[in-house]
Every structure is written in structure tokens, then in C-alpha cells.
Structure 1
Amino acid sequence: MPNLKKILRKIGGVLIPPLAYLLMRIIWLTTSKKFHFITPIGEEQHVCVCWHGELFMSPQAYRHIHKKHKASAIISQHFDGSLIAGTLNLLGIRPLRGSTRKGAHQVLLQAFKSIKKGEEVLITPDGPKGPRHHMSDGVIGIALKSKLPIFVMNFTAESFWQFKSWDKFVIPKPFTKVDFYIQSISLEGMELDVAKKYLSDKMLEHTILDSKQVASSK
């Protein structure tokens, strides 16, 4: 049985990312999208963030705005992380395997190396296992030490499916309206706790929060 599990995981690791990418592109192309730039986003380098539950659309929004910018993403070493890494690769986003909580030192070193090479680093502050919408220290540390602004990506959808997973993963339904909220913010000069609350508040301004919104979307 252990060998069978390994074989199935290997098969899944090959087949699932391109299928997930195909589904992402179908949803992207069939939805009506509106971009709200709360602040201007230029081509300057950023640290980029979205909630874990918004990974279906936010990396595509990132690539829509920064089409050619070199980018990498911190992705957990779990099997689910492997699937996400394979999918993001197809969007031209290079995976950095690790977590800002587990194996933090190594992945943070990778992140700073990527930043020095001019890449933008994408992070889910509440990944890889939550709690949902919890702000980790890692993203704040990267932003403060690199002195880069943060590219915040959020979205809401008029109609969507939402998983019962810890992150309440959201997939907009085809042909629905999706509103993207994009902003660039600076944490320069802030203490860690103040910066965590400030970024968390900004990321919670435009996101799908609870089951009441799920019920109203049906």
C-alpha cells in the first residue's frame, strides 16, 4: 500500500497541475473581470501577497498586471504544495519550496536571493495550513528587510464555489463578475506587530469573509 500511495502521488503530481492550470484559464477567460487599482502599481519590484484561499485567481491577476516580471513563490513542501508549485510554474512563477513557519530559515534565504536577482516573491501570509487570514511574521520580515513595497491582491466574486477546507478556497463560477482589488503599500518604519495588523487590515478590506457571503452568492 505505501508503494501504491507513492505511485498515485507521482501520477497526480504529473497530471493535476496541467489540469488545474487549464481549469484556471477557462474560469479566467469566461469571467467578467474588473480591476480596481486602489493605488497605482508600476513595474517596480514588490513583495506580493494574497490569501491562501484566493490562489485560484490572484496569481493570474498578478500575471495579467506584471506580464513579464520574473517571479517566484514560497510554496510548502507538502504534497499539496507540490501541486500548487507545478501549477504556478505554468504561469511562469518559480517555486521556492518551504514555509515561513517550517524550515523558515532556508526558504527566507531563498526568498532574499530571489529578490536580489530582481524577482518578485509571492507569499500567502496564512499558508500553508492557516489559521485562515492569519498574518505570519515571515512576509513582514521579508518586506521590512528588503525595503520593498507590498503588492496586495484580493478579489470578490458575485457567484462562486467555496471549499470546506481550512482556507475556504474560492473558485468563481464561469461567466460571473469578479472584482480584483490591487494596491501597493509600504511598511517602512513600522514595528513588526504594527506592520502585521496594518497589512492584515488592508488584505481583509476586499475579500470573501464568511458563510453569509457564500449563501448570498448562490
Structure 2
Amino acid sequence: MKEFFRGVAKVIVPPLVYLLMRIIWWTTSKKFHFISPVSEVQHVCVCWHGELLMSPQAYRKIHRKQPASAIISSHFDGSLIAGTLQLLGIRPLRGSTKKGAKQVLLQAFKSIKQGEEVLITPDGPRGPRHSMSDGAVGIALKSNLPIFIMNFTAENYWQLKSWDRFVIPKPFTKVDFYLQSVSLEGMDFEEAKEYLREKMLEHTIP
């Protein structure tokens, strides 16, 4: 019975979440701040797990036709996220850089070779919040690609009590997006992880 209800949820929930995302998107006032130029070159793209309601939409606003995939956990809630992102034209790669890492990383490198940009939440799928897993940095260093950072803040918002403190901007509020391209060239692994985390914390809701 549990599997039946989960199967139903996988069909029903993503379109409803997508509709909610679009309603909030359409009813908010948005301003885009390019902290550094984001060129047309291929990137590895990152946002915090708690910013997933808006950041993928900002990505599609800027890169309307860019082929993209996203690393999404193999858990049930990951299935709901995957179904929602597919409605934005973002292909899911199931697994995480903590569990099933080898398989999902191979998928990510294959996607990059095919010209896709790979989206990752470095603190997903289960946190801790604003922590930095190895995945985004490892893929960027191995592929020699810059990282496209997407953050946002909102004047008025709801913040869930979940581990990621998920942020939902209130309709008709102002949302500021902060976008930047950073290079990890010349850094060692741990230095690159700390640098990326610092950059991602510059413009985010506490």
C-alpha cells in the first residue's frame, strides 16, 4: 500500500509543485545581480538545497535552451524533485555524491561530454545545511570547468523548519538573485571546497 501511494505521489506531486513554483515566480518582483559575468561557456552549476524553489527557475530564465541535468538523490523525496525539475527541462541523474557516488559521477561526466551543464546542491540530499560535499568541486576540477553559483534573497518569505531551512518567497515580494561564475583553477581540493562555500554564503538567507 505504501508503494502504491508513493507511485501516485510521483505522478501528482511534481506538477503541483511546479505550478506553485511558477505562481511564485510570476507574482514576485525579480532583480538579477551578476556579481561576475556568466559567459556562454559550459559550467557546473550550484545552489543550496534550501533555495531549490527559485534557483532552477533562475537558471532556466538565463539559460533557456542550454541542455542541463541535475544530480538528485535516489530517495523518495528525490523522485519528487526529479519529476519537478523535468518540467523545467532539466534531466535528473539519480544518486548522490555520498551514496552511489561512483555511478552518479560517471553519469555527470557523460552528461558534460554531451554538452550538458550539471546542477548540484552541495549540501544535499540530507545536509548538514550549507555544508560542502565533494561532488561539485570534484566534477569541476576533473572537467576543468568554472562553477556557476546561484543564490537569492527575498524581502518577505516563509522558511520551513526542515534541515535545509527551505525558503519560499511570499507572492508579490521582491526577490534578488545573485549570480556569479568562479574558477577553481590552481586550487587544491580542500582549498577549492572552502572557497566555493564562502562564495555561496555571500548572498543567501541565514
TM-score for both structures, normalised by structure 1: 0.94
Asked if residue 37 in structure 1 is aligned to residue 45 in structure 2, the reply is no
SS in structure 2 of the partner of residue 208 of structure 1? coil
Superposition misfits of 4+ residues, deviation over 4 angstroms: none
Q: What residue identity is the alignment partner of 2:150? A: M
* Aligned mate of 2:68, from 61, 66, 71: 71
> Aligned equivalents of 1:201 and 1:77: distance in 2?
28
Q: What residue identity is the alignment partner of 1:101? A: K
Extract unaligned runs of 5+ from structure 2.
Answer: none
* Aligned mate of 1:83, from 80, 84, 91: 80
Counterpart for residue 138 of structure 1: 135
Asked if residue 109 in structure 1 is aligned to residue 106 in structure 2, the reply is yes
Counterpart for residue 13 of structure 2: 16
Deviations 1:40-90 (A, max 9, x none): 112211000000000000000000000100000000000000000000000
Q: What residue identity is the alignment partner of 1:147? A: N
Deviations 1:28-50 (A, max 9, x none): 00000000000111221100000
Counterpart for residue 144 of structure 2: 147
Asked if residue 177 in structure 1 is aligned to residue 174 in structure 2, the reply is yes
Over the matched positions of the two proteins, sequence identity in percent amounts to 78
Asked if residue 189 in structure 1 is aligned to residue 189 in structure 2, the reply is no
Counterpart for residue 216 of structure 1: none
> Aligned equivalents of 2:36 and 2:166: distance in 1?
26
> Aligned equivalents of 1:74 and 1:181: distance in 2?
22
Extract unaligned runs of 5+ from structure 1.
Answer: 210-218
SS in structure 2 of the partner of residue 8 of structure 1? helix
SS in structure 1 of the partner of residue 194 of structure 2? helix
SS in structure 2 of the partner of residue 36 of structure 1? strand
Q: What residue identity is the alignment partner of 1:173? A: K
> Aligned equivalents of 1:143 and 1:44: distance in 2?
13
> Aligned equivalents of 1:13 and 1:137: distance in 2?
29
> Aligned equivalents of 1:113 and 1:189: distance in 2?
24
> Aligned equivalents of 1:5 and 1:103: distance in 2?
24
* Aligned mate of 1:120, from 117, 122, 126: 117
Counterpart for residue 165 of structure 1: 162
SS in structure 2 of the partner of residue 166 of structure 1? coil
Deviation at 1:117, TM superposition (A): 0.3
Deviation at 1:186, TM superposition (A): 0.3
SS in structure 1 of the partner of residue 64 of structure 2? coil
SS in structure 1 of the partner of residue 131 of structure 2? coil
TM-score for both structures, normalised by structure 2: 0.99
Q: What residue identity is the alignment partner of 1:89? A: Q
